[in-house]
Amino acid sequence: CAQVPEVFSDIMLASRRIDKCKEIQEMCKHPIQVAQVDANKASNVVTLIKNFEPELVINVALPYQDLPIMDACLETGVNYLDTANYEVPEVAHFEYSWQWAYQQRYQEAGIMAVLGCGFDPGASNVYCAFAQKHYFDTIHSIDIVDCNAGSHGHPFATNFNPEINIREVTQIVRHWADGKWIETPPILDPKTVHMSFNFPEVGPKESYMLFHEELESLVLNIKGLKRIRFWMTFSENYLNHLRVLQNVGMTRIDPVKYEGHDVIPLKFLKSVLPDPASLAPNYTGKTVIGCVFTGLKDGKEKTNFIYNVCDHAECYKEVKAQAVSYTTGVGTMTGAILMMKKIWKGAGVFNMEQLDPDPYMVIIGKYGLPWTTVDWKKML
């Protein structure tokens, strides 16, 4: 955002740890303000909003803070944007119902909330809306594929917050087909569903079915949809480390007693794993993320693949970040530009595919994440 001062003329970066904000402040050529805030309490965010008086609050905190920040925006009448849906800290489960429940209140307040505006979710949703608008009369199947073919040089690390990442990938897998949700085993189970997918530029990679939040909204908003799935690549090294950690109880999210204190194993594990930001300087390789669509156009069946390729090393040269953070950040900024310019406007709570995809597809390409559409083979 700081690279686009003609849109974001005044920026306040706030976090529980102000030292991280100050590090970013020093990197920015365009001056920004920083502040300390505990976003677990809506009243703290309300105070910050009243002091700074923003037009838009961009929430890139943990999913646990979504509802307090939405409450603060509701109280102050400010538009809201986030990158991930709400999670209850005590249960490894996420869904949009808690945030969709704000629909009437946001409508009545005349403010806009845009949910899941990262890359996936985010750009993946917009790819679906774009395909529905321009490439198909009816979309029958969507497969969202997410490949990180990069190397960070560590035996085991996660590309974003370890706690959130491990909670996500150890859950029961769900996909939607023929009007219902179907459950399959988690990725560490021998019976999990996986396949080899031949990704552009990086080649075949083993891809595992996961549940991902954008599936939940896309089944409601893509007309004619019969099936939607999400796939992510994992190396055997990653899976083996995670399997051992799970077997010894280190992925647990319930407290255990240690020397008279309650300790949550996953939170402790997070504290000893590499900080995702520290991976960036030595990261090599590319990410490939996109959507494979099969449907009908003018009565004929066809399959298209819309995707982006992003280079870890190039991202580090530009903003001192790796590609997983970069793709999320540029996707977030793109949505924020459209809200600030009132190109995306409305009262209520919106998922990305409910908004006009065309200006988004132009802007995200302009700011570093170009996309490609190719004919593809139908997914089984």
Claim to verify: residue 83 and residue 155 sit in the same structural domain: no
* CATH assignment of the domain containing 260: 3.30.360.10
The answer to whether the beta carbons of residues 297 and 93 sit under 8 Å apart is no
Residue 191 — very low, low, confident or very high, per pLDDT cuts 50/70/90?
very high
Claim to verify: residue 109 and residue 214 sit in the same structural domain: no
**Residue where one domain finishes, among candidates 115, 131, 162:** 115
Q: Mean pLDDT across the stretch 304-326? A: 95
Residue 276 — very low, low, confident or very high, per pLDDT cuts 50/70/90?
confident
Claim to verify: residue 192 and residue 312 sit in the same structural domain: yes
Residue 211 — very low, low, confident or very high, per pLDDT cuts 50/70/90?
very high
Q: Is residue 173 part of a domain?
A: yes
230: its two tokens: 């999400």
* CATH assignment of the domain containing 60: 3.40.50.720
Claim to verify: residue 49 and residue 131 sit in the same structural domain: no
Q: Is the pLDDT of residue 91 over 80?
A: no
Nearby residues of 347 by Cβ (< 8 Å), 6 or more positions away: 106, 107, 108, 109, 110, 111, 112
Q: Is residue 254 part of a domain?
A: yes
Claim to verify: residue 104 and residue 185 sit in the same structural domain: no
**C-alpha–C-alpha distance, residues 184 and 206, integer Å:** 17
Claim to verify: residue 96 and residue 217 sit in the same structural domain: no
Claim to verify: residue 173 and residue 256 sit in the same structural domain: yes
Q: Which helix (H) or strand (E) holds 148?
A: strand 138-148
**Residue where one domain finishes, among candidates 88, 115, 142:** 115
For 22, 74, 289, the CA distances from 292, given in Å and listed in that order, are 41, 37, 10
Query: How many domains does the chain contain in total?
Result: 2
Q: Which domain holds residue 77?
A: 37-115
71: its two tokens: 């409450």
Q: What is the pLDDT of residue 2?
A: 82
Q: Mean pLDDT across the stretch 318-322? A: 92
Mean pLDDT taken over the chain: 95
253 vs 79, more confident = 79
63: its two tokens: 């999913």
Claim to verify: residue 226 and residue 200 sit in the same structural domain: yes
- At 105-142, the pLDDT tens digits run 999 999 999 999 999 999 999 999 999 999 999 999 99
The percent of residues in the chain predicted with pLDDT above 70, rounded, is 100
Claim to verify: residue 225 and residue 176 sit in the same structural domain: yes
Q: Is the pLDDT of residue 206 over 90?
A: yes
Claim to verify: residue 103 and residue 221 sit in the same structural domain: no
Q: Is residue 363 part of a domain?
A: no
Claim to verify: residue 166 and residue 137 sit in the same structural domain: yes
Residue 337 — very low, low, confident or very high, per pLDDT cuts 50/70/90?
very high
Claim to verify: residue 249 and residue 111 sit in the same structural domain: no
**Residue where one domain finishes, among candidates 80, 115, 150:** 115
Q: Is residue 350 part of a domain?
A: no
Q: Mean pLDDT across the stretch 89-97? A: 83
Q: What is the pLDDT of residue 173?
A: 96
Q: Is the pLDDT of residue 229 over 80?
A: yes
Q: Is residue 211 part of a domain?
A: yes
**C-alpha–C-alpha distance, residues 338 and 345, integer Å:** 8
Q: What is the pLDDT of residue 361?
A: 98
Nearby residues of 259 by Cβ (< 8 Å), 6 or more positions away: none
Residue 169 — very low, low, confident or very high, per pLDDT cuts 50/70/90?
confident
Q: Is the pLDDT of residue 6 over 80?
A: yes
Q: Mean pLDDT across the stretch 48-77? A: 97
Q: Is residue 352 part of a domain?
A: no
Q: Is residue 191 part of a domain?
A: yes
Q: Is residue 338 part of a domain?
A: no
- pTM for the whole thing? 0.94
